[in-house]
Amino acid sequence: MSSSDSSTAPPLPIYRQSGFLSFLLARLGAVFAMQIQAIVVAWQVYDITRDAMSLAYVGLAQFIPMVILLLPAGDVVDRFSRKRILMLSWAVQGLCSALLLSLALHSPQNVTPIYLVLALFGCARAFTGPTLQSLLPNIVPRAQLANAIALNSSIMKVAVIGGPLLGGILYGLGGGSLAYAVCLGCFLFALVLLPLVPVRYAEKAKVLEGTAWQRFSAGIVYIRRQPIILGAISLDLFAVLLGGVVALLPIYAQEVLQVGSEGLGALRSAIAVGALLMGLYLGVKGITRRAGHVMFAAVAIFGVANLVFALSHLFWLSMLAMLVAGAADMVSVYVRTTLIQLATPDAMRGRVNAVNMLFIGSSNELGEFRAGSMASAFGVVPAALIGGVGTLAVVGAWVKLFPTLRRVDRFDDAR
């Protein structure tokens, strides 16, 4: 990793930082691929099985290898070139798209090979998450990190918006084979751009001492000693674990709202539109005071929006609920990410971000398993209702369990 830039000259505007645009475009291509693939895999698996439980296994197949590899991945990220690790992980994800393309061309009637490919994809994602989170502070100056986080998150929402829509259209036009071919092209695009990104603000890599387990667990120890960070990431974990409805969208699109694959893509994109609009606002205004209160309020709004979606039989109302849920989630992501990045030394960012990604992965993937298994047992609407109520219960509990998080005023309070 490159040494830190010691120049005392005022930093350039964030959008003019050398390599930042290439980094954004490369990540945009990779996120486009992941979003298209996520929507197509879910639709294809449900199309083959017509079983809600099969959607739960889609999340579980990716989550298990991520859980196993995330802590070792954080140690690797702190010891070796973060840019090279990211290139390798994107290359493996591109290979997964190629394998899914091959399976789609043979019109599979058995979903087991798809689950195996998703497990490999989960292995690569274990390295992608902490690497991306740790690399951004090495590309831009610390003084501009909050702006970079907001801008980066907002731009990524373009892919999160366009990916599901494009995935639904591609699946309707040419099935899974066309969609997976586009995913492969997007990963190749990212791999071409990433070498153009200079790493100017990283500290020199240090030789990490101690046993392998001591190195792996250092991020856990650090977060455990920081109640503000622990409260923020655990709040997000349990709120999304209980309240997320993304895994239920294929069932809602087909059986409740009856809007087809294009409607499914629109529902997924509505979440991202809300996040994009909120991200653009945060990029301009930011959050300067009462950050803790704002975060708790945002998670509560997320739970209410999911309750509205659970009860809705109107497509426009469901879209609006997903729009609000996405905006509220962006506030939570912005606060949590900024707190973690400003409070963590560069030499530990990989391991701390690995733990953070473990929380995020748990909330997303296990949340999908929770939603799918509950839908299989109780029905899709009760499963969504239980999740929304659970999110509100978590907010109430965390207000009492983490008073220091509630009292956070400025982001520097996390130091």
323 belongs to a structural domain: yes
Digits of tens for pLDDT over the chain (415 positions)?
A: 444 444 445 555 555 666 788 888 899 999 999 989 988 898 888 888 888 778 778 878 888 888 888 888 888 888 888 889 999 999 999 999 999 999 988 877 888 899 999 999 999 988 998 898 888 888 877 767 777 777 777 777 777 777 877 888 888 887 788 999 999 999 999 999 998 888 876 666 555 666 667 776 777 888 888 788 888 888 888 887 887 777 788 888 877 887 877 787 788 778 878 888 888 788 777 777 888 888 899 999 999 998 998 888 888 898 999 999 989 988 888 888 887 877 777 778 888 888 887 777 667 667 777 777 788 778 888 888 888 888 899 999 998 998 888 887 877 666 6
Q: Which of 196, 189, 160, 169 is nearest to 97 (CA)?
A: 189
38 belongs to a structural domain: yes
206 belongs to a structural domain: no
**Is residue 302 within 8 Å of residue 329, measured between CB atoms?**
yes
73 belongs to a structural domain: yes
pTM of the model: 0.71
238 belongs to a structural domain: yes
Burial of 319 (0-12, 13-18, 19+ CB in 10 A): buried
**Is residue 356 within 8 Å of residue 212, measured between CB atoms?**
no
- Which residues have C-beta within 8 Å of that of residue 331, sequence separation ≥ 6? 278, 282, 287, 294, 295, 298
2 belongs to a structural domain: no
Q: What's the domain count of the chain?
A: 1
Radius of gyration of the chain measured on its C-alpha atoms: 20
169 belongs to a structural domain: yes
Q: What is the rounded distance in angstroms from the CA atom of residue 320 to the CA atom of residue 383?
A: 20
Q: Which of 101, 115, 97 is nearest to 49 (CA)?
A: 115
The number of helices, as runs of H, and strands, as runs of E, in the chain is 16, 0
CATH number of the domain at 20, please.
1.20.1250.20
**pLDDT, position 372:** 76
Question: DSSP string of 232-272?
Answer: HHHHHHHHHHHH--GGGHHHIIIIIS--HHHHHHHHHHHHH
Q: 3-class DSSP state for residue 113?
A: helix
Residue 51: CB atoms within 10 A of its CB come to: 14
**pLDDT, position 30:** 93
209 belongs to a structural domain: no
Residue 342, domain extent: 14-201+215-414
